[in-house]
């Protein structure tokens, strides 16, 4: 007899932290929903466990009076304890998705039966302790394990094939599976999956075809989870999708080879770089054969609505920009549970790469690059956009000497407040650190810090303590650059200092104002802007002679604006046509 009556147990509330148990030898168990085919069982939540009985929560109703085998997992001793149970009552729980709460009374279990059933928990021990299932709450664990199918693959047998539909994933219990990519007529061995690894997660997560072949290198025992079951469980327990997205992101960052993927009109060929938010691939326009760069938001970031919105903003922002010093965007596509931005393919290297190779840049190189950057920033600022993350990593030098500004992912309209510090802290202006509204002068500050680094090889403040570094940005003017670079001209020194003033009102008011000072310095040092293509445009004006004075005023005004833009204007009047 139970220590408590069935009526009393029916009034018991479910414990907040349920234990883990399983039931077997029960007519309500569907063998197709069991992790085992030898002795079918289902996992259950266990509440109010005593030596005489327990309350369990199961996805199916069990008739009162039914006998079943019951096992409870002791997490402290890491072992299963067996009971023979009788169902005294079973109530539906509408607030838990239609699950049922069943009260059990226990009877002694003969030792032979207990040992026979306990031997069946070896597989289950593996499943509940693998990283995939350790990452999710028990409620999800119960639903998920009850959906698994145990499979055995012989050496050379394929778990799945490249290009096939991604209808399932596999959790490897034993053996080794090799992941291979067929690409350009060659087979590339990309990775090996072994005990505890998840194989085939990408296709299940994104719905795209298999990106490679998975083949058993030795005899493999694996647990199959169908995509429809994954989607059903993940809809209720987002932790499962988060685990897989983290896993997929790690693999995409580390794998050099990937099967060709189609994104709209474009084909992804191989990975060329990884940043904080995105992975960049080399690809081609399928119809034109034109090379492109394809930036994909990492899947773990795509799970976060804030990052997803920010990445969409990057696409919309740079799509508005059309300037020879800003990377050009061609297309945007949302597929495979993430966002892709298709951009022009650039050949060259970032200023960060150059600093790693050489340590510093020369004064003429620095001034040349700064003038081009300021050209691009002036244009962006005129469009109402600030970059908010100017640093060497985001400045790309093409082989012909031209500069391209990358990664407008942090761009925003001037005056926006952002309490979350997203940019690289080493270049962040005080107003960004303190969560104050930013404007175009915030980009000027970061440009000044970067200029110091380009010429000296290090940034102006010590960086062993990031909290202290933020205080220095907000409370202390940068040290005089000439203390570190004695040969630096006074004009260039003052340029850096003015860019980096704590008070934005004391900085350059605009990119144009900063560029005017640099242009004057460049003329003094006889530095020409490298990499700038020179263009010729002809304009013919046909007019009656009586309009000559009006035309002269128009040309004078046009000449002033052309001079401001650095355009040389020549006129040649033909007296009579």
Query: What are the tens digits of pLDDT across the range 102-134?
Result: 999 998 666 555 544 443 567 777 887 787 777
Helix, strand, coil % (nearest 5) of the chain? 35, 25, 40
Strand segments (E) across 184-328: 186-193, 198-199, 213-216, 220-226, 261-263, 266-274, 278-285, 291-297
User: Are 433 and 385 found together in one domain?
Assistant: yes
Domain, as residue range, for 153 = 143-254
The label of the residue with tokens 């239609």 reads 98
CATH number, domain of 78, equals 2.40.10
pLDDT band for position 8 (cuts 50, 70, 90):
very low
The count of structural domains within the chain is: 5
d(CA 537, CA 559): 14
Residue 530, domain member (yes or no): no
Give the DSSP H/E element, type plus range, for residue 46: strand 41-50
What angle is formed at CA 417 by the lines to CA 305 and CA 314, rounded to 5 degrees? Answer: 45
The C-alpha R_g of the chain, in whole angstroms, comes to 33
Q: What is the pLDDT of residue 118?
A: 47
Q: Which range among 64-68, 388-392, 419-423, 468-472 shows the weakest confidence by mean pLDDT?
A: 419-423
d(CA 36, CA 380): 62
Q: What is the pLDDT of residue 12?
A: 46
Nearest Cα to 203, choosing from 159, 233, 235, 269?
159
Query: Higher pLDDT residue, 324 or 146?
Result: 324
User: Are 386 and 326 found together in one domain?
Assistant: no
Mean pLDDT of the chain: 82
d(CA 377, CA 442): 11
User: Are 393 and 483 found together in one domain?
Assistant: yes
Displacement of CA 208 from its chain's centroid (Å): 18
User: Are 513 and 565 found together in one domain?
Assistant: no
| Entry field: residues in the chain | 577
Nearest Cα to 351, choosing from 298, 390, 408, 294?
390
d(CA 20, CA 56): 9
For residue 466, the tally of other CB atoms under 10 A from its CB is: 10
User: Are 441 and 355 found together in one domain?
Assistant: yes
User: Are 97 and 232 found together in one domain?
Assistant: no
Facing residues of 294 across strands?
281, 342
User: Are 87 and 198 found together in one domain?
Assistant: no
User: Are 37 and 162 found together in one domain?
Assistant: no
pTM to 2 decimal places: 0.62
Distances from the Cα of 83 to the Cαs of 19, 185, 302, in angstroms? 15, 59, 46
Question: Tens of pLDDT along 25-42?
Answer: 777 776 666 666 666 777
Q: What is the pLDDT of residue 257?
A: 61
Question: Tens of pLDDT along 264-301?
Answer: 788 888 778 777 677 888 888 988 889 999 888 776 67
Query: Higher pLDDT residue, 290 or 81?
Result: 290
Residue 129, domain member (yes or no): no
User: Are 378 and 510 found together in one domain?
Assistant: yes
CATH number, domain of 321, equals 3.30.200.20
What is the DSSP code (8-state) at residue 391? S
């Amino acid at each position: 007899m139970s220590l408590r009556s069935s009526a009393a147990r029916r009034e018991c509330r479910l414990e907040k932290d349920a234990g883990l148990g399983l039931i077997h030898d029960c007519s309500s168990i569907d063998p197709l929903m069991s992790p085992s085919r030898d002795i079918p069982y289902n996992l259950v939540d266990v509440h109010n466990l005593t030596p005489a009985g327990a309350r369990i929560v199961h996805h199916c109703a069990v008739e009162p009076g039914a006998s079943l085998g019951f096992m409870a997992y002791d997490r402290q001793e890491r072992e299963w304890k067996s009971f023979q149970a009788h169902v005294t009552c079973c109530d539906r729980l509408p607030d838990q998705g239609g699950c049922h709460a069943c009260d059990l009374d226990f009877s002694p279990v003969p030792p032979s039966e207990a040992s026979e059933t306990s031997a069946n928990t070896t597989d289950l021990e593996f499943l509940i302790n693998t990283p995939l299932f350790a990452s999710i709450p028990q409620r999800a664990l119960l639903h998920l394990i009850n959906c698994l199918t145990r499979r055995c693959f012989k050496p050379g047998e394929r778990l799945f094939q490249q290009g096939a539909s991604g209808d399932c994933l596999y959790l490897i219990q034993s053996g080794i599976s090799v992941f291979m990519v067929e690409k350009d007529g060659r087979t590339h061995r990309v990775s090996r999956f072994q005990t505890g690894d998840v194989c085939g997660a990408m296709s299940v997560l994104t719905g795209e075809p298999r990106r490679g072949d998975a083949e058993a290198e030795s005899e493999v025992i694996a647990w199959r989870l169908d995509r429809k079951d994954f989607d059903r469980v993940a809809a209720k327990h987002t932790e499962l999708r988060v685990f897989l997205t983290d896993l997929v992101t790690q693999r995409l960052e580390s794998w050099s080879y990937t099967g060709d993927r189609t994104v709209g009109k474009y084909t992804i060929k191989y990975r060329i770089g990884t940043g904080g938010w995105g992975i960049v691939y080399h690809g081609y326009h399928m119809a034109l054969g034109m090379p492109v760069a394809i930036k994909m938001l990492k899947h773990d970031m795509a799970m976060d609505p804030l990052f997803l919105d920010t990445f969409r903003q990057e696409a919309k922002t740079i799509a508005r920009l059309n300037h020879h010093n800003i990377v050009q965007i061609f297309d945007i596509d949302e597929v495979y549970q993430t966002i892709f931005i298709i951009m022009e393919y650039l050949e060259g290297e970032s200023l960060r790469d150059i600093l790693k190779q050489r340590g510093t840049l020369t004064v003429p190189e620095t001034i040349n690059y700064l003038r081009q950057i300021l050209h691009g920033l002036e244009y962006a600022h005129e469009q109402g956009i600030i970059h908010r993350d100017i640093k060497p990593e985001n400045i790309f030098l093409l082989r012909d000497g031209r500069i391209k500004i990358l990664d407008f992912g942090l761009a925003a309209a001037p005056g926006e407040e952002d309490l979350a510090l997203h940019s690289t802290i080493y270049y962040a202006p005080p107003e960004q650190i303190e969560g104050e509204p930013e404007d175009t002068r915030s980009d000027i500050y970061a440009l000044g810090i970067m200029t110091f680094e380009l010429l000296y090889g290090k940034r102006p403040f010590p960086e062993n303590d990031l909290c202290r570094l933020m205080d220095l940005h907000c409370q202390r003017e940068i040290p005089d650059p000439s203390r570190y670079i004695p040969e630096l001209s006074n004009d260039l020194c003052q340029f850096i200092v003015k860019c980096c003033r704590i008070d934005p009102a004391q900085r350059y008011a605009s990119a144009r104002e900063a560029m005017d000072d640099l242009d004057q310095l460049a003329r003094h040092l006889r530095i020409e802007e490298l990499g700038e293509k020179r263009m010729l445009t002809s304009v013919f004006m046909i007019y009656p002679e009586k309009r000559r004075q009006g035309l002269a005023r128009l040309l004078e005004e046009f000449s002033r604006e052309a001079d401001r833009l650095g355009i040389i204007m020549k006129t040649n009047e033909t007296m009579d046509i």
